[in-house]
Structure 1
Amino acid sequence: MLSPFTEYTCYLVFKVSEKCPGLHCPVKVRDLLHRRKKENKIIYFRSPAALNHHDVFWVPQQRKDGWMEVMIWKFKPDYNKQVVPMNLKLVTYEGTMSGLIICGLEFRPDQS
């Protein structure tokens, strides 16, 4: 159960196949349920050069369990609702996302 007065962060937990030559370009994350906000986030599946870091939260981090994670969404649950709907779409700027191995999503209270 989520606390209604706590901001949460959603992470995509993944690996990139060793045989995958792509996924070097940024990927756009769109929230299809809240299109009016028109907020698109840019994430990376491979760390870009240091000069290209637009936002340190949206680049992948290595986890202790061997998987990678990247933040894809922040939200605060509505006090009156028990469910938090989400419909996120990942759009690559170039090529495909072939070789992306997804473990799942992880929700945690925001630490920032």
Structure 2
Amino acid sequence: MVGMGMLPEECISYIISFTSPMDACRSARVCRLFRSAADSDVVWERFLPHDILQILSDSDLASSMHWLSKKKLFFRLSHCPILVGGDRNRSFAIDKRSGKKCYMSGARRLSIARGNAPYWQWIQKWRQSRFYDVAKLDHVWWFKIVGRIETNILSQKTTYTAYFVYKLEENSSGFHLPITKRVYFKGQGESNRDESTCTLDIRDPTPPPLDRHNLPQVRGDGWMEIEIGEFYNDCGDAGLVICRLYGLRAVLYSGIVVEGIELRPKA
């Protein structure tokens, strides 16, 4: 039997391309031949989304993508989200474990109840934001945010988790009370069957949530995130995912900064 080390480099690359990005990185540590095979474009092109060139053609990376190897492009997109679309109010990245697509819709793409002055302010070049502007709440008595994203831009046959990304200012109010959240497909109606509650302010949650999915987590980029829900994307080109959050009580809400809603493949 011929050992792997006796095969041509092209054959080794082809075999590695059927594994995963993490397996390819492990293979590169075996020996010089495997490192060369594992670093080839044959391997990393397979890990990238099939429509990656189309996605990047409408991004800030369009002018430089042809100068990057497929491996460098993969790691660039798995560590640094890029802005895509004509309005640059959506960001794109890939999951470093699977190569599947991740998207965040910025605040400008969300439907925010009473989302204009004097209730909300649009702040440009907010610190740590990947977008040009964010939505900052001054005060409102009815908190409701809805995000919509087309399923055809997501990875198919994939379970996604949706997250609300935000920050609370020191003088924020109202967000210690329960917030209702739900993820559903357009056409499922306004049923509250899949709704659950969470709190966006962990300083004084009332009442305390039941599990960590209903508590906010600190992100690596300095923002907070709360899981809205998850869904399985098997809708092809025809689906629309709706992510909704709203306050259960008519109280004074203030002091939240909204970055957006992010969809990531479930870990």
In structure 1, the gaps of 5 or more residues are none
Query: Which structure shows the bigger proportion of residues in helix conformation?
Result: 2
Distance 2:169 2:254 in 1: 9
The list of structure 1 runs, each at least 4 consecutive aligned residues, that deviate by more than 6 angstroms after superposition, is none
Q: What TM-score do you get using the length of structure 1 for normalisation?
A: 0.79
What is the match of residue 46 of structure 1?
201
After superposition, the C-alpha distances for 1:8-41 in whole angstroms (9 at most, x for unaligned) are 0111100011122431111112458433462211
Q: Given residue 103 of structure 1, which amino acid in structure 2 is its aligned partner?
A: E
Q: Deviations over 1:34-78 (max 9, x none)?
A: 3346221112111256x9331211210011211100011211112
RMSD over equivalenced CA pairs, Å: 2.5
**Aligned counterparts of 1:31 and 1:75: Cα–Cα separation in 2:** 7
Equivalent position SS for 1:105: strand
Of 99-108 and 29-38, deviating more is: 29-38
Deviation at 1:2?
1.8
Written as runs of structure 1 = structure 2, the 5 A alignment for 1:1-112 is: 1-30=153-182, 33=186, 34=188, 35-36=190-191, 38-47=193-202, 52-81=208-237, 83-86=239-242, 88-93=244-249, 95-111=251-267
Any stretches of 5+ residues in structure 2 without a counterpart? 1-152
SS at match of 1:57: helix
The letter of the residue matching 2:161 is T
SS of the residue corresponding to residue 7 of structure 1 reads strand
Q: Which has the larger radius of gyration?
A: 2
Question: % of aligned pairs identical?
Answer: 28
Contact 1:30 1:90 in 2 (8 A): no
Corresponding letter in the other structure for 1:38: R
Residue 90 of structure 1, CA deviation: 1.2
1:28 and 1:93 in contact (8 A); partners too: no
Relative contact order: is structure 1 or structure 2 higher (C-alpha 8 Å, sep ≥ 6)?
A: 1
One-letter identity of the residue aligned with 1:76: Y
1:96 Cα offset (Å): 3.2
One-letter amino acid matched to 2:259: C
